[in-house]
Amino acid sequence: MNFKINSENGRHVLKRIVISAMILGIGVIGMLWLTMFKKPPDKAPDKERPIRVAAVRGVFEDIPVFITGYGEVRALNTLLIAPEISGKIVEINSRLESGEIIPANEILFKIDPRNYLSAQKQAGAAVSQWKNVISRLKKEFAVKKERIKTLKRNQELAESEFKRVFELFKNDNVGTRSGADAAEQLFNTSADRADQMRQELALYPIRIKEAQSSLAAATANHELAKANLERCVVRTPFTGRIKDVSLEKDQYVSPGFKAVTLADDSIFELKVSLDSDDARKWLSFRDDGVSGKTAWFNRVTNVSCKIRWTEDLSGNIWEGTLNRVIKFNQETRTLTVAIRIDARNAGKNRKPGLPLLEGMFCLVEIPGKILNNVIRIPRWAVSFENRVYTSVNNRLKTISVTVARIEGEEAFISAGISPGEILIITRLIDPFENSLLEITEIKNSSDKWRGKE
């Protein structure tokens, strides 16, 4: 029984295998039959495809060099105003707020002047007192000069009387001994008075000088008291902008208290750091007659510089002037120069926007020397190995060049290129040497090439 069942299952499996093989065979035969009707594709012609590029014709020219740097705009004069005396604030300018413009010589604040007014009056009284003392001493000196004449005469008379009485008593025995002694005593008294008066007269010039010194001291105290009284009123030394205020009415202040910070916006200055190698090669210095006398730079040529705000490089352009060299930093190998710009130039707007303001971080272009006999090409047209692509008979050729300077988007070639040579300015990435080129446009290298990548 089991044997029959197994035989039947084997026959069914064999039948299925045969049918599957037949279907597969029919499929293969059909595929081979269809391939007999398929035509082979036509062979494409073996043609080299050119690389489309833009190019310029090398033209030697003299190029003015511009050195670029960055700096922050600062007011040239920023003054911290502090009281010179102590006291209570009794009055404050109504416009004493940050950002306000205060005209020159306008009152900023006042300090209680009562104590200083009293001190001035007291010092003035001392001056008057010493003037009177000097006047009295001079009058006494003049009077006693006249009195000394009388005393001298009295001394002479007493001396003559003493001699006469003494001679009569001694030689002629006329008179008495007491009379002679009395005459001598009178003579001595007269002489003593005259000597005292001479001593007083000798001291009067010294006393007058001492009084004059005291008058000078009193006058100085009076001037100081007067100055302190004037210092009770604090005014603006120039027309300026209030940067900071730390002051309230009825506040007690002392000398040196940081009350107001005033900025003079009439002149701005930017401190710009330049690469020392660029500065050495391209900055122009003038002979000011001190060369060799000091170990420092000669005065720079005061050239006009372009200033752009870094937040709006395509916006307003302001003009400043290269003023001086500030310092040299050996660690960073930079040279710091000062650019000055006055309020008239800072306020000029060629386009709508902000004027030049303190605190703006700006890009500065400083014109330098002339770069002679160079070819100008886009910076991207020169590889890191200082190689450029040229077109020779519409075939790509790579040559090595000498780059005299790279400035912004421009590279200046001083050697390695012949005049009139075709230079490719399209950005290429690892092209094959001797590739066929299709040049879409050729201009002179001295023409504008910006945007031709």
Q: Residue 1 pLDDT > 60, yes or no?
A: no
Q: Is 444 exposed, middle or buried (0-12, 13-18, 19+ CB in 10 A)?
A: middle
Q: Residue 428 pLDDT > 80, yes or no?
A: yes
The answer to which of 64-78, 327-341, 435-449 has the lowest mean pLDDT is: 435-449
Q: Is 276 exposed, middle or buried (0-12, 13-18, 19+ CB in 10 A)?
A: middle
451: pLDDT confidence band, cut at 50, 70 and 90?
very low
Of 370, 391, 425, which marks where a domain is finished? 370
Torsion angle in degrees (nearest 10) through CA of 405, 410, 414, 416: 120
Q: Assess whether 236 and 105 both reside in one domain.
A: yes
Alpha carbons 203 and 215: distance in angstroms, whole number: 18
What is the domain range of residue 247?
83-112+232-258
CATH code of the domain covering residue 247: 2.40.50.100
Q: Give the pairing of strands 252-253 and 240-245.
A: unpaired
CATH code of the domain covering residue 303: 2.40.30
Alpha carbons 361 and 307: distance in angstroms, whole number: 10
Report helix, strand or coil for 332. Answer: coil
Instruction: Specify the pLDDT at position 9.
Output: 65
Q: Are 102 and 239 in contact (CB under 8 A)?
A: yes
412 or 4, which is more confident? 412
Q: Assess whether 316 and 390 both reside in one domain.
A: no
Of 213, 240, 258, which marks where a domain is finished? 258
Q: What is the pLDDT of residues 40-51, one digit of tens each?
A: 666 656 677 888
180: pLDDT confidence band, cut at 50, 70 and 90?
low
Instruction: Specify the pLDDT at position 3.
Output: 45
Q: Are 208 and 202 in contact (CB under 8 A)?
A: no
Q: Are 366 and 303 in contact (CB under 8 A)?
A: yes
Q: Assess whether 197 and 126 both reside in one domain.
A: yes
Q: Assess whether 146 and 195 both reside in one domain.
A: yes
Alpha carbons 376 and 56: distance in angstroms, whole number: 10
Average pLDDT, the chain: 83
The total of structural domains in the chain comes to 5
| Any domain includes 451 | no
Q: What is the pLDDT of residues 86-129, one digit of tens each?
A: 999 999 999 999 989 999 999 999 999 999 999 999 999 999 99
| Any domain includes 77 | no
- Kindly list the distances between the CA atom of residue 196 and the CA atoms of 145, 185, 187, 199, 206, in Å, as whole numbers in the listed order: 12, 16, 14, 5, 16
Report helix, strand or coil for 136. Answer: helix
Q: What is the pLDDT of residues 237-293, one digit of tens each?
A: 999 999 999 999 999 999 989 999 999 988 999 999 998 888 888 888 877 665 556
Q: Assess whether 353 and 285 both reside in one domain.
A: yes
Q: Assess whether 217 and 154 both reside in one domain.
A: yes
Instruction: Specify the pLDDT at position 452.
Output: 42
Alpha carbons 282 and 366: distance in angstroms, whole number: 10
Task: Give which of 266, 272, 263 is closest to 322, Cα–Cα.
Answer: 272
Give the torsion sign (CA, 222, 226, 232, 235).
Answer: negative
Q: Assess whether 100 and 239 both reside in one domain.
A: yes
The pair of structure tokens assigned to 448 is 């504008």
Q: Assess whether 16 and 152 both reside in one domain.
A: no
Alpha carbons 223 and 208: distance in angstroms, whole number: 22
Alpha carbons 105 and 204: distance in angstroms, whole number: 49
Q: Residue 207 pLDDT > 50, yes or no?
A: yes
- Kindly list the distances between the CA atom of residue 300 and the CA atoms of 169, 281, 304, 332, in Å, as whole numbers in the listed order: 106, 13, 12, 21
Q: Assess whether 225 and 291 both reside in one domain.
A: no
Q: Is the pTM of this model over 0.75?
A: no
Alpha carbons 429 and 426: distance in angstroms, whole number: 10
* Alpha helices for 36-68 (secondary structure H): none
Report helix, strand or coil for 236. Answer: coil
47 or 203, which is more confident? 203
The pair of structure tokens assigned to 329 is 């930093």
| Any domain includes 68 | no
Q: Are 338 and 271 in contact (CB under 8 A)?
A: yes
Orientation of helix 177-230 relative to helix 114-167, angle to 10° = 170
**Whats the size of the chain, residue-wise?**
453
Instruction: Specify the pLDDT at position 351.
Output: 64
- Partners of 367 in beta bridges: 66
Q: Residue 37 pLDDT > 80, yes or no?
A: no
Q: Assess whether 434 and 391 both reside in one domain.
A: yes
CATH code of the domain covering residue 391: 2.40.420.20
Q: Residue 398 pLDDT > 80, yes or no?
A: yes
